[in-house]
Amino acid sequence: MVMAMISCNKENQNIPTNQNVTFKNVSYGSHARQVYDIYLPKGRDTNSPVILMIHGGAWKAGQKEDMNAFKDLIRNKWPEAAVVNMNYRLASNTLQIHHNQMMDDIKLVVDHLKTNRLKYQISNKMGLVGASAGGQLAMIYAYKYNNKIACVGNIFGPSIINDWNWYNSNNPWLGGYVGDILSEYVGQTWDTTAYKSVSPYWNISANSAPTITFHGNLDPIVPVYQSQWLHGKLKNLGVPNQYHEYLAFHSLDATQSSDAITKLVQFFKGYL
């Protein structure tokens, strides 16, 4: 396999389509975190689908490289698709970075890809995939901010941010109260309206993007019932969706990951 790799912002204006091409750390804004990696497949054209990946990390940690294992599986199982793996600004009360800024970052990436569509030779059709906090970001962006997202993959992401039992729990895996983390992401404490407004579950409509969800039934960080309820609401509203549950914690092993991405690719191919 031939691969061309070009770093930072120096993309060629004439990008070869007869080979795989990778651009690392493409800037989509002025902040150091506002970069993405893009993996362009050989043989692509303006009908080639795009999958945008969003990492987790409780909204205040993590990086795009955390999604590399899923990224590699997607590229292996769907070599015709372009894959984009993004960083975003992390939640910080000190820097006043919260939910709105993360939504802005996803929009900036989507807009940057559309602006460079002809140069990259990719389609406008896009699916989002996120893990953990990234799953929540992917869902809420598609459900509330961009009704042109074709489909969403949610890998054990929280869907009910105003789940007060979860909010008030002390989680040793997260190193403290869930509410401390959520308040930094939302930017407010105990504001029912604000927390509901950023909950994918409460932003579903009959026109929401088709969604496929994966969750471990032993997850100690994000309650599995949130994904079960999400599935139920999507189903009741007639939104195409799938839900797959694994004997797992807040992660999937290699076999489970391969199975999940196989299912995700099959699902996405119906909409991209």
pLDDT digits (tens, 9 = 90+) for 81-114: 999 999 999 999 999 999 999 999 999 999 999 9
Which residues have CB under 8 Å from 29's CB, separation 6+? 105, 108
**For range 54-65, the mean pLDDT:** 97
Q: How confident is the model at residue 14 (pLDDT cuts 50, 70, 90)?
A: confident
Q: How confident is the model at residue 37 (pLDDT cuts 50, 70, 90)?
A: very high
Q: What top-level class would CATH report for the domain 3-268?
A: alpha beta
Q: In angstroms, what CA-CA distances link 240 with 23, 152, 208, 215, 271?
A: 33, 11, 9, 18, 10
Percent of the chain with pLDDT over 90: 91
Residue 259 clears pLDDT 90, i.e. is over it: yes
pLDDT tens for 132-178 read 999 999 999 999 999 999 999 999 999 999 999 999 998 888 888 99
Q: What are phi and psi of 11, to 5 degrees?
A: -70, 145
Check residue 13 and give its pLDDT.
Answer: 64
